[in-house]
Amino acid sequence: MVEPHTPMTFTNAKLILPDQVVEGTLAVDKGKISDLSSGNVSHALDCEGDYLIPGLVELHTDHLENHYKPRPGVTWNAVSAVQAHDAQIACSGITTVFDALRVGMEDDADLTAKDMRAMADAIEIGQQEGRLRADHYIHLRCEVSADNCVEGFDLFNDDPRVCLASLMDHTPGQRQFTSLDQFELYYKTKKGFSDKQMQEFMLQMQARADRNSDKNRSAIAERAKAAGMMLASHDDATLAHVEEAVQFGINVAEFPTTLEAAKASHEAGMAVLMGAPNVVRGKSHSGNISARELAEAGYLDVLSSDYVPVSLLQASFLLAQQIEGISLPDALQKVTKIPAEAVGLADRGALEVGRRADLVQVRMVGDVPIVRGVWREGYRVA
């Protein structure tokens, strides 16, 4: 990363602070916010009345895989794939991203644990060589039902960029796929299975889960805690799932599938994370609870772009427009301050003196926000 420009001043901006919107000026010195004031000044970057918001913080996106494996049978250069992914992330207003890499694969998966390690190595190369616009960390998505889950996790031992691990189980009949109809629809579409093949596949997955899920869940949780990683649950559906998450010391509850599980997770002090595409579309693609319903009930803490990077900014503005009782500052905290602090990054995520000058200039055109400029630690990256 090039040394940040110092000092610099933004003026004629709608500053979205944690609790209010102020028309005024923001100053940056040595990569941090040094002053906030109302009113405008001369000899500064004129934001032309646009919003100035904190850089977005993304905790769970598996979008990198789309660049590394753009077509079946095609594997792209890992460093190039990371750069392409990074450019899309930054131009979506995301300045801190947790790239979600899989550990624990299906037998016929088109990617392996070694591919995940290759992508992680490319992220490190990109970060060290100043190739990347956003600040990248790694989130390990651990499929605990898989035979090779722990083996894959151990490829990331002593990797300081790995800061978050989620405990996932996509076995049919529970969590994300409580409805077997939804499971069949998803996998028949994805794999082109016949009815007979589908039934055989479900039996194989259920047997695999019986063999692995409990022991792998405990093993990954122990390894993560020993390494100082934050832990996330995934697709909790019942109070029993939430109670288990509490026992494991979970920090983030990703994509709870029911109101009951979201409420219990929120009340237990976990940050409840839902998909921004769910907000934009108005529903879950898996037929589970909508993020808007959780927002209306007061149990939505964090949004993640998941598989569409640009959705993160759009969803936050939609929440403020459509959900009574959620202001624009409230909505923006769900993609900035709250996710940052949920994973221990208290140095960013808010327009406050002393925090990192990770900034995004945003203009509303119709109902869709446009990113007009992105700065990371005071240095323009998009």
pLDDT, tens digit only, all 382 positions of the chain: 445 567 999 999 999 999 999 999 999 999 999 999 999 999 999 999 999 999 999 999 999 999 999 998 899 999 999 999 999 999 999 999 999 999 998 766 788 999 999 999 999 999 999 999 999 999 999 999 898 999 999 999 989 999 999 998 877 656 656 656 666 666 666 667 777 777 777 777 777 877 888 899 999 999 999 999 999 998 898 999 999 999 999 999 999 999 999 999 999 999 999 999 999 998 776 667 899 999 999 999 999 999 999 999 999 999 999 999 999 999 999 999 999 999 999 999 999 999 999 999 999 998 899 999 999 999 999 9
User: Which residue has 């055989």 as its token pair?
Assistant: 200
* CA dist 66 → 1, 110, 312 (Å): 25, 12, 18
Which parts of 19-95 fold into alpha helices (H)? 64-68, 78-91
The one-letter code for the residue type at 102 is R
Note the pLDDT of residue 149.
93
Residues of the chain with CATH 3.20.20.140: 56-347
**Distance, CA of 106 to CA of 300 (rounded, Å):** 31
The fold adopted by the segment(s) 1-54+348-382 is Urease, subunit C; domain 1 (2.30.40)
Nearest CA among 158, 157, 146, 116 for reference residue 215: 146
Note the pLDDT of residue 21.
97
3-class DSSP assignment, residue 325: coil
Note the pLDDT of residue 102.
94
Residues of the chain with CATH 2.30.40.10: 1-54+348-382
Helix (H) / strand (E) element for 275: namely strand 271-275
Angle, helix 78-91 to helix 113-128, in steps of 10 degrees: 70
Note the pLDDT of residue 217.
93
* Residue 106 CB-half CA count within 13 A: 13
* CA dist 98 → 94, 164, 166, 301, 379 (Å): 10, 8, 12, 17, 20
Note the pLDDT of residue 1.
45
* Residue 322 backbone zone (phi > 0: left; psi -120 to 50: alpha; other: beta): alpha
Looking at the structure, give the CATH architecture of the domain made up of residues 56-347. Alpha-Beta Barrel (3.20)
| pTM greater than the 0.85 cutoff | yes
